[in-house]
Structure 1
């Protein structure tokens, strides 16, 4: 399994989402993941020991939730600055119009599906390169002897230390083959991580990961083999009848829990609506009502140019008010929240000032 490198919302709704998630929390629940890219980006002080749940530019989270920030990630790339809630509106509008000009390759003041597709692939490549750079840092953090290979035991020590265990005690127990006393949840996580470690370990398997293999471990979207493994994990979690494929009812099944108020009900309604649309319009390629592992893998693959074109068409359709199958400056500004996460007002009056 070779490592692949790419060549290539408003504050109030966010608070309601967060409140809804808290209300729906349950030990066995699968609540919608509404964490924003800005929140995730703000917590990078410590080396990433666990493979991240969120992968930039990938449609599903590792746990099977829809990536709510996907469209912003493939429109803005890694450059999210300038669209924060407290950003100066005029500056944000100007920056958005600069992006518009870059997407509009033929300078006809309209963005076509082909232009948006090219842009999506370019921004996805940026996320890939960012992941590669971060993985290098994380690899060196878990490679204490600097030999260019990380053993499972070295990684396990770092992981358990991050969970509050004493490093010397853990090292001694592993060296002596003694049993490590960990809680049930931590043991389950370790077993899942070891399965993923095996998958990332190119034959012949020795439980030693090189820097490229470690990248596949943290970022399965960089490896065809690991992408398949991630798809299998998602299907396993959602597949209720054990047929190793997903029906629409399985894909849109609601989180376990009792809806206590209207806000919670709105979360449920949004969960079903978003997942139903994604299932029917993008994942189920042959529209037979069943999603196979192959279909899900194609959908998840950020390198899939056909999917990028479909995404481009969908993104244009969201804001295409005059139905000409293109995006114009006024439309992008009006629907800025979809593209950037920030709602920029006075779009009609300001478009000529900024563009």
Structure 2
């Protein structure tokens, strides 16, 4: 929580208790290597910012999320509570639904707002380390298939709905910790003794850092 408060104060230069989109945009672009003074001056003068395509796409996504976090009555600026919802949408029901919608929109190939197994294991190029320019690794596919069938698809009908995905991604869901523990043991328990040995934990340490879907969510919704 202290880190989040520091993040808020870092983008609230005048200390008025609110952060405007332009104030955040200046700090975000500065964190990406742009000259903060120059960017602030151009924004103040409404001059065009020369940004690369990737940075522009991230900014547009962040701006959408920004306005989602601006609780009614919308005033085009965020207070500290709204800013924390912007940074951590998974802890806000409204923002969590928005994040789930964004993920489904990116993965859903037939526009039915549901995910099949084939759609789920076909994350966009670049969202998995070293995936670009080569086929998805077989082990990665096996892990995602197991995650889809055993954890996210709660009624096991072969389809993941937005509600199922939201339940899976909700950190406040009381079943999540147990499901995650079961999943980790199922993947890493090589000797099938129903507990994890140190060697097994070390061998699967990369897997334990989080699911690839959650990694994708963090990539799509980049935090400052």
* Partners of 2:122 and 2:52 in 1: CA distance: 29
Q: Which residue of 1 aligns with 2:66?
A: 197
Match of 2:55 among 186, 189, 201: 186
Counterpart contact for 1:332–1:339, Cα < 8 Å: no
Q: Which residue of 1 aligns with 2:97?
A: 228
Counterpart contact for 1:254–1:271, Cα < 8 Å: no
Quote how far apart the aligned CAs of 1:142 are: 0.9
Matches for 1:222-301 after TM superposition, within 5 Å: 222-253=91-122, 256=125, 257-259=132-134, 268-301=137-170
What secondary structure sits across from 1:171 in the alignment?
helix
Residues 151 and 316 of structure 1: CA distance in aligned 2, closer, same or farther (over 3 Å): same
Q: Which residue of 2 aligns with 1:94?
A: none
Residues 167 and 306 of structure 1: CA distance in aligned 2, closer, same or farther (over 3 Å): closer
- State which structure, 1 or 2, has the greater radius of gyration over its C-alpha atoms: 1
Q: Which residue of 2 aligns with 1:96?
A: none
Q: Which residue of 2 aligns with 1:337?
A: 202
What secondary structure sits across from 2:175 in the alignment?
helix
Q: Which residue of 2 aligns with 1:86?
A: none
Q: How many residues align?
A: 199
* Partners of 1:172 and 1:152 in 2: CA distance: 15
| 1:319 matched to 2:189 | yes
* Partners of 2:52 and 2:123 in 1: CA distance: 29
User: Structure 2 stretches of 5 or more lacking a match?
Assistant: 126-131, 207-224
What secondary structure sits across from 2:62 in the alignment?
helix
What secondary structure sits across from 2:150 in the alignment?
helix
* Partners of 2:84 and 2:203 in 1: CA distance: 30
What do the CA deviations read for 1:253-310 (whole angstroms, capped 9, x no partner)? 2665544xxxxx6x61012111100000000111111111110000011111123222
* Partners of 1:248 and 1:149 in 2: CA distance: 43
| 1:143 matched to 2:8 | no
Q: Which residue of 2 aligns with 1:214?
A: 83
Structure 1 length as normaliser, TM-score?
A: 0.51
RMSD over aligned CA atoms reads 2.5
Counterpart contact for 2:151–2:183, Cα < 8 Å: no
Higher relative contact order (CA 8 A, sep 6+): 1
